[in-house]
Structure 1
Amino acid sequence: MAKNNTPEYDLTFVAPQRREEVLRRIRALERYINDPRGEVALEGARELGLHRRQFYYLVKVWRESRKPEKIFTARRAKDPYLKSPIEIQDIIRRAAAELPTASPRQVWLRASEIAKEAGLKMVTESTARRFVRMLRRQIDTNDPVSSSIVIDQCAIDISTPATDGGRTMPIATLVIDPVAHRVLGLALSLNISPKYVARALVDALLQTGPHTAGQEPTIKLNVTANIAWRKLSEICVSSGTALEKRIKKQIIGGDWTSKLIGQRLADFHLRPKMTRFTENLRLPTKIEMSLAEAEELLRARIHADAPHESAFSSMPELQRMELLRKLAGFAL
C-alpha cells in the first residue's frame, strides 16, 4: 500500500468548515517557501485570489507560527472597496480564483454558495462586483509595486559619535522592498547625501540573488536639484534602471520607512520624526558603538538570509554589475 506523503497539520483549532481553505493556503505557502521565486509567489497569490502583498504576509505568518488557525484569521490591510468581515473577503477571493474568466455576477453567485455552506451571510451583488473588479485590476497589472525599490532615510536609535564629540542617532539610508516589507541594503551616516544612497544600493546589489525573469526595477526616491543628486540619477538611468523621483528643496527623510517596514529594524527602534533634526538634537537612548560597528551589525542582521530575491533580481547580470561598478565609484 502506497504511503501518503501529504504532511499532517494540527487543525484542532480550525473550524471544520474552514479546514479545506486553510489546507489550500498552507499548500500554496509551502510551495513558495520551498521555492522562493517571484513567479511562484505570483502563482500562489493568483491561486488564492490574493494580492501579492497579502500572500507575502501569509508566508510571514506561517513561517513564524506554523499554526493553521492563524492562516485563516491573519489580519491584512483593509480593502477600500469592501468593508466586511475578513472571512467574506476570503470567500470572494476564492471564488474569483476558481472562476478567473467568469463575470463578476457569476463570481458573486459562487461566493454566495461557499458562504452558505460556511453559514455566513454574503454581501450584496454590487459590493461583490466592485471587489472582484478591484481584485482583477491588481492581478492584471501584475502588481507593479512588486517591481519597485523604495529608498528612504530614517534616524535609528543607536548611540554613535557626533561631529562635535557628543553622541547622536545616525541616519540609515534604506533600500526597501515595498512588497516583502524588508530592507535589502543600508548605509549609516550623520546626514543625508546621494553618496550614502549609492552605498546602500551597492549593499543591496551585492546581496541580490541570481537573475530571474520579471519586470526590471523602478527606484523610487527623493532628490534635490543639487548636482550630486543629478549625477546619481544619471548613473542609475545610464545603467538601464528606471527612476521615479520626487524633487524637493530639502530631503527630510522618513516618508515611507514606517509604512513599509514598521517601527523597528534589526531590533533597533526607528525614529522617522527625528530624521529632520540636526545631529545635536537627535539624542539617542540605546547602546553606544561606532558608526562603522553599527552599520556592520545592522547589515549582518538584515542579510542573515541573503541572497535576497527582489526587483533587482530581474536585472540582467551584466547590467547589474555595470550599475554596481558605477555606484561603488560614486560612493567613494
Structure 2
Amino acid sequence: MTDAPDRPPLRVTISDVAAAAGVSRATATRALKGEGRFAEQTRARILDISERLGYVPNTMAAELAAGRTGTVGLLLRDASNPAYGLLFSCLQDEANRCGLDLVTVTIGADSGGTKQVTALQRLLGMRVAGLIVATGGVTNAQLEPFADQVPIIRAGRDATGDRVHSVAYDEQSHGALLAAHVHSLGHRRVAVLATDPAASFPEHVRVTAMREHLESAGVEVTPIAVGAGPAEGVDAALALASAGRVTAVMCPSDYRQLAVLRAARDAGMRVPADFSVTGCDGILPGADLLGLTTVRVPVEAVARETVAAMQHLLDTDSDSDDLVRRSYAGPLVAGTTAAVLL
C-alpha cells in the first residue's frame, strides 16, 4: 500500500502563504495583488508558494476593500438582553451605513461556549470575510483558531494575545467609577455580588475593579459569589443589609440591581433609606424613571468603532498584523437608588 499524497488544507489562508514565504501577511497580500515594491525573486517566491499551496483569495474581503458590499458574520449573545439588543441595532445601523452586510447568529445560555464555537464555524462555512464576536461567553483561547481564517474582532470585551482584535467597554473604569461614587456617599461596609468569570467575564471585571477600589479606600467589602442567574445572591445580600452588616449592595449589572430592588420591596425594606443599591449597564428601558444608580455603557461608540476597525482589517492594502485594541468608558448615572449615608 502506498502512502496517500500530501494535500493542502481545505482552506489555505494568506497567513499560510506568508509563513511559508517568510514574509508578513501584508507583504504577501501586496505581492499577490502585484502592488508594492519587492525584489523580483521575493515576488516570484510568494507567487510560487501561493500556487503550490492552492491559495484562493477571499473575494468577499476584496470586494469590501473596493467599496462594494461585503459580508461579515456576527455572533451575538442573547438579544433579549437590552445591552446586547442595543449593540446589535447599532452594529447593524453602522454596517448598513458602510455598505457592509451582517449575517447574525444569536446564542443564549451556553455553558463553556461550545455552542458559540459551533456557531462561528457555521459562519465561516458561509465564507464570511470577517467575524465580530459580541458575547462574553466565549474565551479568547476559543477564538484564536479562527483568526487564521478571517479577521476577528471582539465587540464589547477586551481580547488577549496577538491574534484577536477588540473594541471594548472599559469595564475596569466602570467598576472603579461606581465604587468611587459609593465611597463618596459615605458607605464603609459594602456587599458586592461577585460574578464568576465563566458566567460573565465583563461582570467579573467590573466586580474586581469595584472591590479593588473600595478596599484601597479602606472600605470593608463582603463578596457574595454568584453565577449567571440574576437572582443569585440576592437573599444573602438582603440578609446582610437587614442585619446592619452592610449599608450598600453593589451589583455588576442592572438586571441584578432590579432583582435586589424587587426582593427588598417584597421584604418591606426601603431603598435607599435602609440600604443603597447600584448596578451597571444603563440600557434597561425606563432606567431613568426607576432612578437606577448605574453606569451607561458606551454602546454606540463601540459599535461605530467595531465596524470601522473591521473595514480597516478587510482592506488588503492595510497591514493586518497591527492589532486593534480600543476601549471606551461611559458616564456615571447617579440615580436615586444610592444615597448619602446618614
Range class of TM-score, shorter chain: under 0.3
Q: Larger helix proportion, structure 1 or 2? A: 1
Q: What is the TM-score when the length of structure 2 is the normalising length?
A: 0.24
The structure with the larger Rg is: 2
Q: What is the TM-score when the length of structure 1 is the normalising length?
A: 0.24
